[in-house]
Structures are given as C-alpha cells and as structure tokens.
Amino acid sequence: MTFKRVLVLLTAVTLAFSLAACGEVGNTQNLGQEDRDSVVIAIGSEPETLDPTQGWGHGNSPIVQSTLVSYTSELTFENDLATEYSLSDDGLVWTFSIRDDAYFTDGEKVTAADVAFTLETAKAAQGSIDLTYMESAVAPDESTVVITLNQPTSIFLNTLASIGIVPEHAYDEDYGRDPIGSGPYKFVEWRPQEQIIFEANEDYYGGAPAIKRVTIVFMSEDAALAAVRAGEVDVAYSSATFGNIEVDGYHVEAITSADNRGFTLPMVPNTGETTESGAPIGNNVTCNIEIRQAIAYAIDRQLVVDTVLHGFGRPAYSENDGMPWNNPETVIETDVEYARELLANAGWEDTDGDGILEKDGLKAEFSCLYPADDSVRQAVAMAAAEQVREIGIQINVEGTSWDDITQRMFSEAVMMGWGSSSPNETYYLYRSQGAFLDDFYNPEGYMSDVTDGYLEAAMSDLTTEEANENWRNVQWDGTTGTSMRGECPWVWIVNLDHVTFVRDGLSIGEQPIHGHGHGLPLIQNLDEWSWM
C-alpha cells in the first residue's frame, strides 16, 4: 500500500467518525447561547481529582486554587500568592512573603501555614508532584514561608507554579471531590464522566473573572465536533484530523503546543527478563541502534504534518521543541539514503526478496502500539510506518487498550505522547534509575552514566542558564545523548497544534504554549476569557 493510499484511507476514516458523530446529537439542550457571561467547554480528559497535592493542575494552572508563583505566556514566572521571594547563596533555602489580601472561598484568610501544609501534604502523597528533594516547609509567621531543600533544585519554581494551595482547616480525604481554594474560580458541582461546573470567585484578589459560570463537559473528539455543529458548546478541544472542518458561528484556533508524538523503541534485547509486575523486557530488532536511527532519518516529518495533521502541527525532534532548554542540534534532516547506508553497513539485507531486511535470520519487523480510540496516534503511526517500509523495515501498527500497552511497552514500540512546560520531564524520561519501572517514563530502558551526570547537574544548578546548558547536553553534547543523532531511544515525529473550536465572539485570551493534556491545558487561563 502506498503512502498516498494510506492517507486516503485515513481521511475516509476521519470523515466516517465525523458523520457518525453528527448523528449522535440532536435533542440536547442548546447550552451557552443565552447567557453571555457563561461558557460550556468540551474536553476529552476528565481529571482524577481536584486536589493539587494529588496532581490536579500539575503542569497547568489549578484555577480553583492559587499558587505561590505562576507562569506567564512566555514561560517565565510572576508572583501570585507570593509578593516576593529570595534564595540562599547555597541554593537550599527559599523564603516567600505571602500577600495579605487572599481569602479562601469559605472566608478564611490564606496564610503561610496553609502553604507549608500544602507542600508537606504533597510531599507525603508521593504522587505526580515530586518533592522528594524538599526537606521541610515551615511558617515562622502568618505571612512568611521558609522552604528548605536537601539539594539545590533548578526546577523548583516550575513545581511551585503548578501546586495550588489548599486550606489546612478544611482539608480532608474528600477534598479532591469538593475543593475550597482562593483562585479565580470556585467549585460548584462534579458529575463523574459527565461534567464539572465552576463559578467565578467574586472576591478573588486578582479581580473577578469576566466569565461567571464555566461548565466543562467530557466528550470524545468526534462527540465534541457533533456538539459544536449542534451549537451545544462554546469551546471544544478537537484534533488535527478535524481542523479543516468549517462550522458556521465558530472559528478554529490552532494553539501551539509541546504536545508531541513519537515511537518509543526498546533499547535492550529480549533475554527473558521482566519488570516487577511481570511485563516482558526487550526487543531483538529495536535494540539495534542502526534500526532506531534509520527509522529516525527515513521519516519525512513535514509530510506527516501537512497530510495527516492537515498542517496543524510541526515536525518534532525532541521532547521539548521550542522550549528555552531545547538543544537546536537535535534537528535532523530527512535522509533516506543515509538510513539505507546505516542498515547496510550493519549487515541488514533483503535476502529473500520480500522487501523486509534481515540479519542473522532476524527480520527487521516489529509492532508499534497505540490506544485504539486515538485517531491521531493511529494516523501518525500508519503514515510513519509506510515511509519506513521504503527502507526495508516493517512496523506493524496495532490499536489496543492502555491496560494492554502497559504490559507490552517494555518490549514493543509505542506511539507515545509527552510535552511539558517544565524540564523535569526530561529528567524522568531518561534517568537510568527510571528504566523499566512500571510507569510510562523510560519504558524503552535508556541508561547512560554520561546522561545521568548531565541530568543531575541540570537539576542542581543554581541558575537557569547553567541548568539549560546541561539540559541541552542531555540531548546532544557533540558525542552522545538522547537525541535521534545520539542513542535514539525515541523517534520523535510531530508536535501537535491543539485544534480548538471557539464560538465567534468569545476570546480565550493569550494561550500559553500547551503541554500534553487532552484539553486540560486549554482552561489554565480561564480568568482571561471574555465575550467580546
């Protein structure tokens, strides 16, 4: 099957999704039309909790809760609850002064004790927020919090920007389903698998938001498109496969993101070893560096962007394209002849004429998994596999469940996605001690003493400039690294634009660059939205 025929097939599948979706909605109440100070937003990902100590807001703004500092649209930091802060010369002690006009929505004042309680609670939770490097957080008085680290940590402000402050006096085991905060919005109602409702916090110290009521409904991409066509939602997070569809009364905003897609490729051979949970480790084809690099050089990323994503994206070369800590030397040019040379020089050849290379009786063939309900991952994987077939490598694209992927991702390729506003993602993706743990970080088993040295240096540097230099060396130091010109544990393919349908007349503000999140990054600046 040619690449063009694959694209025709994918376009047909997308159209079928769209038409089917339009038949699903017809009698639903037309929401968001009458009241111009409210919005209805469709996104694809329901949070597990609204408790920041358990991960709510991680990588984004928690909106219900305030944070000590917050991101600007340029990914720099500005004060939020904090009025000022300082760092000791040894990089271990952070001192924050807290504003005196912040109140929780139950009327209680936000104090430094609440900040200290939040950080200690988040550390004890050992969830998605890593505070293992924090020794203590204490409040010597009502307006000062002193945070002591056990090692200098360059990403600490990134972490603080996504930890919403919870009230010590009103925190219990049910907080994540009925939260109280001091942010721009207050929680109203949560109907699991259906919707969450927020209302503006009229007493917010930053000024009451213009949008007074926010209803977030959870929908698949095709159902969200149907809701847009029926006029039932004001904003809908969609996908690149639907980006060229025109709907009267709406416009599409393509929001730049670091939300990437690419293959993870197991780096060790299959010797019968397993993870702690019993998942098999290793792949005898992808463990060969020439296979991994040949795939990387054979893919025309811009062609995938233009055809599969309809232009809603850009080529990807790392987990952090466009970020201040990215190494521009990760960029590689498509070079099919070089890919063929890599394989031939390593002894791969087509001995039986079936178009698939062999070496020592081993076919250059393996499976690439993707979640079966994700049409974009399917389309990107199929397009890339078709290109790679031209150099004699057979990638069998297979849709399956996440439960299945978690058991097979250590031994088979996966069309994975990452993307974050913090460089700590690089740390977890590539540190040797994270290899083959039963989570989604480093299932390919990348291990390097050299890289570990750069990672630890980047984490402990006292200045952003020093840290960024080490983050760049992680990717490529001129000799080795995690990039595709280095050890190539990943073959990065595309960065997605976050395609969003917006009702005409609604401004969704200046969206910061989005991380990975299936719609949640869209709401991080809700307090800037307004009807024009």
Q: What is the pLDDT of residue 25?
A: 36
pLDDT of 17 > 60? The answer is no
pLDDT digits (tens, 9 = 90+) for 491-518: 999 999 999 999 999 999 988 777 776 6
Tell me what percent of the residues of the chain surpass a pLDDT of 90.
Answer: 76
Which tokens go with 63? 């909106």
pLDDT of 383 > 70? The answer is yes
As a whole number of angstroms, the distance between CA 401 and CA 34 comes to 40
Q: Which of 157, 62, 85, 166 shows the shortest CA–CA distance to 120? A: 166
Q: What is the mean pLDDT of residues 440-453?
A: 96
Which tokens go with 523? 């709401």
pLDDT of 18 > 50? The answer is no
Of all helices (H) and strands (E), which one includes residue 186? strand 185-191
As a whole number of angstroms, the distance between CA 185 and CA 214 comes to 9
- With 0-12 / 13-18 / 19 or more C-beta atoms within 10 angstroms meaning exposed / middle / buried, residue 220 is middle
Q: What is the pLDDT of residue 59?
A: 62
* DSSP assignments along 453-479, one per residue: HHHHHHHH-SSHHHHHHHHHHHH-SSS
Q: 3-22 and 375-389 helices cross at what angle (nearest 10)?
A: 170
Write the single-letter amino acid at 417: G
CB-based contact 528:510 (threshold 8 Å) = yes
CB-based contact 511:522 (threshold 8 Å) = yes
As a whole number of angstroms, the distance between CA 240 and CA 306 comes to 10
DSSP 8-state class, residue 436: T
Chain position carrying tokens 């996966």: 414
pLDDT digits (tens, 9 = 90+) for 515-529: 776 667 888 889 999
232 against 12, higher pLDDT = 232
As a whole number of angstroms, the distance between CA 289 and CA 483 comes to 12
Q: Which of 516, 524, 507 shows the shortest CA–CA distance to 72? A: 524
pLDDT of 431 > 60? The answer is yes
Distance of alpha carbon 228 from its chain centroid, rounded? 25
- Residues paired with 349 in a beta bridge: 358
Four-point Cα dihedral 474, 150, 57, 184, nearest 10: -130
pTM of structure: 0.84
Q: What is the pLDDT of residue 22?
A: 39
Helix/strand/coil (H/E/C) assignment for every residue in 212-241: CEEEEEECCHHHHHHHHHCCCCCEEECCHH
Strands (E), 29-160: 38-43, 69-71, 77-79, 82-87, 93-98, 134-141, 144-149
As a whole number of angstroms, the distance between CA 402 and CA 414 comes to 11
Confidence category of residue 66, pLDDT binned at 50, 70, 90: very high
CB-based contact 462:152 (threshold 8 Å) = yes
pLDDT digits (tens, 9 = 90+) for 272-330: 999 999 999 999 999 999 999 999 999 999 999 999 999 999 999 999 998 889 999 99
As a whole number of angstroms, the distance between CA 316 and CA 302 comes to 9
Of all helices (H) and strands (E), which one includes residue 123? helix 112-125
Tell me what percent of the residues of the chain surpass a pLDDT of 70.
Answer: 92
Q: What is the pLDDT of residue 323?
A: 87
For strand 498-503 and strand 235-237, is the pairing parallel, antiparallel, or unpaired? antiparallel
pLDDT digits (tens, 9 = 90+) for 349-369: 999 999 999 999 999 999 999
Confidence category of residue 339, pLDDT binned at 50, 70, 90: very high
As a whole number of angstroms, the distance between CA 502 and CA 232 comes to 12
As a whole number of angstroms, the distance between CA 466 and CA 203 comes to 41
DSSP 8-state class, residue 44: S
Of all helices (H) and strands (E), which one includes residue 250? strand 250-255
As a whole number of angstroms, the distance between CA 218 and CA 26 comes to 17
Q: Which has the minimum average pLDDT: 30-34, 213-217, 457-461, 488-492?
A: 30-34
Write the single-letter amino acid at 230: A
Q: Round the average pLDDT of the chain to a whole number and report it.
A: 90
As a whole number of angstroms, the distance between CA 11 and CA 46 comes to 28
As a whole number of angstroms, the distance between CA 164 and CA 64 comes to 8
Domains of the chain: 1-13+31-46+192-257+498-532 (3.40.190.10), 52-179 (3.40.190.10), 259-420+485-496 (3.10.105.10)
3 state DSSP class of 415? strand
As a whole number of angstroms, the distance between CA 475 and CA 485 comes to 9
Chain position carrying tokens 């949560």: 190
